[in-house]
Amino acid sequence: MKELDIEALVDNLDKVLQFIDAELEDTDCSPKIQMQIDLAVEEIFVNIAHYAYNPETGPATVRVEVRPDGSAVTITFIDHGIPYDPLAKEDPDITVQAESRQIGGLGIFLVKQTMDDIRYEYKNGRNILTVEKNLSQTTQKPGAGK
Amino acid sequence: MNISQERNADKLTLSIEGRLDTKTAPSLEQVVKSDLTGVTSLVFDLAETTYISSAGLRVLLMAQKQMNKQGEMTVINANNDLLEIFEVTGFTDILTIE
């Protein structure tokens, strides 16, 4: 397991992605899966940067653990900002036409669609959001990453 | 990310090279907000676009809404990974993708 402590700023997104991608380098995950993981990391980290400590900034911890057999990765995001459960938010209606489409909530919706598991807990004053992604396409659960 | 613009009378083609993400989407937003005057046909060429996040989708939606008022908009050459993102977010129903 590896951990990165970093200030929750949008400007630090590249550092977070580099940290995650370095861990994925030794696995044989496809470019597509890597893109989906980058996407989830961006959406979650940017959410923390925008909202967790608004209008101040604060620290975040990103933890990454690749399963020993390389079959899956678990990424955990921890902040001690405002308690916020992104999973409690209703999914956006993706069937309505452009004029009435709302863009809010689309980021976390994308995370739900592309990751195999996502969990939230609020513990000891900290938001803890964990995502899991299978790294081999054949072991994807039905409906995930479609 | 690099945006190249090709204007041909009322047609504007925006070719996006690289990642359309939280950090780069604002510069595309700027183009969409300021350079669509007189454009009746807007084309996003995504042949060289490697990645899109919700920030990029937001700008495409903004452009689509604007073009609904003044003409048409087409997204071309998106790779399969991008098409999947459009699919799961319902953007395939909003955008004209060729």
> Quick one: average pLDDT of A135-144?
59
| Tokens of residue B40, six digits | 């009746």
- The answer on pLDDT for A144 being more than 50 is no
| Tokens of residue B95, six digits | 């955008």
CATH of domain A2-139: 3.30.565.10
Instruction: Give yes or no for a contact between A77 and A129, defined as CB atoms under 8 angstroms apart.
Output: yes
Write the residue in B51, B89, B94 that is nearest to A35 by C-beta. B51
3-state secondary structure chain A: CEEEEEECCHHHHHHHHHHHHHHHCCCCCCHHHHHHHHHHHHHHHHHHHHHHCCCCCCEEEEEEEECCCCCEEEEEEEECCCCCCHHHCCCCCCCCCHHHCCCCCHHHHHHHHHCCEEEEEEECCEEEEEEEEECCHHHCCCCCCC
Write the residue in A32, A46, A99 that is nearest to B81 by C-beta. A32
Write the residue in A94, A99, A114 that is nearest to B65 by C-beta. A99
pLDDT for the residue numbered A118: 97
| Tokens of residue A102, six digits | 């709302």
- The answer on pLDDT for A26 being more than 90 is no
- What digits encode the pLDDT tens for the residues B45-60? 999 999 999 999 999 9
- What digits encode the pLDDT tens for the residues B11-66? 999 999 999 999 999 999 999 999 999 999 999 999 999 999 999 999 999 999 99
What integer best gives the mean pLDDT of chain A? 91
Write the residue in A42, A46, A98 that is nearest to B61 by C-beta. A98
Instruction: List CB contacts (< 8 A) between B51 and chain A.
Output: 35, 38-39
- What digits encode the pLDDT tens for the residues A28-42? 899 999 999 999 999
Q: Do B22 and A31 touch (CB under 8 A)?
A: no
d(CA B64, CA B86) in angstroms, rounded, equals 14
Q: Do B53 and A43 touch (CB under 8 A)?
A: yes
What CATH number corresponds to the domain at position B50?
3.30.750.24
Q: Do B88 and A38 touch (CB under 8 A)?
A: no
Domain, as residue range, for B8: 2-94
Q: How far is B9 from chain A (nearest CA, A)?
A: 26
- The answer on pLDDT for B93 being more than 70 is yes
| Tokens of residue B62, six digits | 């903004």
Query: In chain A, where are the structural domains located?
Result: 2-139
Instruction: List CB contacts (< 8 A) between B85 and chain A.
Output: 39, 110
Domain count, chain B: 1
pLDDT confidence of A138, banded at 50, 70, 90? low
Instruction: List CB contacts (< 8 A) between A146 and chain B.
Output: 84, 87-88
Burial group, residue A123, by CB count within 10 angstroms (0-12, 13-18, 19+): exposed
pLDDT: which is higher, A102 or A14: A14
- The answer on pLDDT for A139 being more than 50 is no
Q: Provide the residue type at B22 as one letter.
A: T
Instruction: Give yes or no for a contact between B25 and B55, defined as CB atoms under 8 angstroms apart.
Output: yes
pTM of the predicted model as reported, rounded to 2 decimal places: 0.91
